[in-house]
Amino acid sequence: MAAAPITGGRVHAEHQPKDGKIFVLILGSDARSGNPTNSRADAVHLAGINTKTMRGGILNFPRDSYVNIPGSGTARINESLYRGGPELAVRTVESITGIQIDYWLLTAFEGFQFAVKDLGNDVPLVVKRGMHDPGGSGADIEPNTKSLNGADSLAFARTRKSLPGGDVTRTSNQARFLIALLRKLRTDIEGSPGKMFDWMAATRKWTRLDIPPHELFQLAVLTSQVKTQDVGSVTVPVSIGSAGAASVVFIQPGAQSIYNRFKKNASL
Amino acid sequence: MTTSTSQESKRKPWWLLAVAIFAVGGLVAAAMAMTDDRSRGGPSPGSIGDPEIRQAQWRFTVKRAPGRKLSKNQRASFPTQRKKLKKMAQDVFDALFLSPENQGKALRTNFTPSARKSYQRTGVGVPKGADDVRIKRRAARIVIDQTARATMSVNVIALGQADKGPFATAHRSVLYVAREKGGWKVFGYEVDQQPFKKRKASKEDDKANDKQSKSSEKSKKGKNKKKRSGDKDRGGDGS
């Protein structure tokens, strides 16, 4: 597959989503430009949609989660992308959660920013507390900002140093951003259903997908029919620790019940 | 004379025969014209719309989705696909609101099986025992992407009589359509059907109306003043 700002594909070619449950692994690479697979994943989210109940959920993994990477020992979850591409990242999350993933989507700084720009450059997200991180993400978002443009969106999704919860809060913020994108999709389509194709055009422009267009259309229709209030976002419970010299977070045993619930309902 | 009369009596049946043929021909032509009217969109068998009621015309807006340029084949196929999608909208919604007996067939032809079952369960269309249905508005906005996917937003306003009394319905459906081997099929939808209410004037409209009425009152007063002044003038003239 050619290098592209956003890439995506099907995990199991033969697998068809059963029982109306669809799971998508959303990865955000820290690659500044070029091929996003040659970097670590700063964002790891498992999104689920239940087509029967039309409810959804996003399970967020802090990037420092210290986990077992299949065939590659134990390391931070963000290493899985660097060591084996999105396929290994998918296998890692599958082995942690026991959930069979249907699709993966990988984006990097460039694709993320340009896609937001092409979608109108105004993602409806209220940022009550301002974000200022000139040395890190470059965020300079004023308090009570109600919509984010491409650059601000990227800064919002990257900022961690100026947040009290650090990486864990950042992970939750990334999920908030995904839900805000869903809200925008729904608002756009409510006004004019044909806008669905604007979204698909933006996706096509910045994405290389292994998913056939008709399947992408069906996925987009499905996603647009899930109300934002029916999408729950849960960050896996973690405790701070260290592995050697590296500062990591350990996923708590309580996470297992969350995985089981998510696997059963595809919603949180 | 006898010969002439006998000749006349012999000719008479031929003349009558010609008249009879002409009359039969006329009847056949009239019948054919009637069937033509039906095929042009007149009431179909099982129709609940009174044939004398004039139904609102279909209004279509068809657009091409943004994105990649169409290939030569796609460009050539676009008008055909546009026509097919228009026909789909007409078939489905005319069946739902004007001939419920054909509803099953129309949905079977145009929906995927799961979408059809689910759509039928929503109970959209006219209520039970509907009669004298009058369509006040039927409009469809279609956006086609790469001649293989389309969205269709359809609005219908229907009035009529039903078992429980008169009804007025405002219906909006968004149909998500994909082209498969068997033609265009609806695989997803959103639907919203509510009693039709004439739009109430909002507060802003009220304010605008108040302003208008005040200004019209003023202008009336002005006119009256003018009239009065005219009267005075006239009075002056009269005096």
What does pTM read for this prediction?
A: 0.72
> Which residues are paired to B60 by β-bridges?
B140
Q: What is the pLDDT of residue B116?
A: 92
The answer to whether A54 and A65 have CB atoms below 8 angstroms apart is no
Q: Which DSSP letter does residue A175 get?
A: H
CATH topology of domain A6-117+167-265: Nucleotidyltransferase; domain 5 (3.30.420)
Give the ipTM of the model, two decimals please.
0.75
Q: Parallel, antiparallel, or unpaired: how do β-strands A139-141 and A131-133 relate?
A: antiparallel
Please tell me which of the candidates A193, A197, A217 has its beta carbon nearest to residue B153: A193
Alpha-carbon span A46 to A37, nearest angstrom: 18
Ranges of each domain in chain A: 6-117+167-265
Q: Is A54 on the interface with B (CB under 8 A)?
A: no
Q: Is A257 on the interface with B (CB under 8 A)?
A: no
Q: Which DSSP letter does residue A11 get?
A: S
Higher pLDDT, A203 or A158: A158
Contact list, B63 vs chain A (CB under 8 Å):
194
Q: Give the distance, in angstroms, between the CA of residue B204 and the centroid of all CA atoms in the same chain.
A: 32
Quick check: B91 pLDDT over 90? Answer: yes
**SS3 category, B129:** coil
pLDDT in tens, B107-119: 999 999 989 998 9
In the stretch 201-220 of chain A, residues with CB closer than 8 A to chain B read 201, 204, 213-214, 217-218
In angstroms, the first-to-last Cα distance of chain B is 96
pLDDT in tens, A30-50: 776 666 666 788 889 999 999
Alpha-carbon span B53 to B134, nearest angstrom: 7
Mutate to test the interface with B, among A196, A207, A209 (most CBs of B within 10 A): A196
CA distance B112 to chain A (A): 13
Alpha-carbon span A115 to A103, nearest angstrom: 19
pLDDT in tens, A109-160: 777 888 888 888 888 888 888 788 777 777 778 888 788 888 888 888 888 7
Alpha-carbon span B179 to B148, nearest angstrom: 5
A217/B176 Cβ within 8 A: yes
Contact list, A216 vs chain B (CB under 8 Å):
none
Q: Calculate the CA dihedral of residues B191, B195, B200, B203 and round it to 10 degrees.
A: -50
Q: What are phi and psi of A265, to 5 degrees?
A: -105, -15
**SS3 category, B225:** helix
Please tell me which of the candidates A189, A201, A213 has its beta carbon nearest to residue B66: A201
Return the CATH class of domain B58-195.
alpha beta
For CA atoms B215, B219, B221, B225, give the dihedral sign: positive
Please tell me which of the candidates B67, B148, B190 has its beta carbon nearest to residue A204: B67
- A30 burial level (CB within 10 Å; 0-12, 13-18, 19+): middle
Closest CA to A251 of A241, A262, A261, A239: A239
B65/A217 Cβ within 8 A: no
> Which residues are paired to A234 by β-bridges?
A59
pLDDT in tens, B187-204: 999 899 988 887 665 555
Interface of B with A (CB under 8 A): 63, 65-68, 141, 143, 145-146, 148-149, 151-153, 174, 176, 178, 187-188, 190
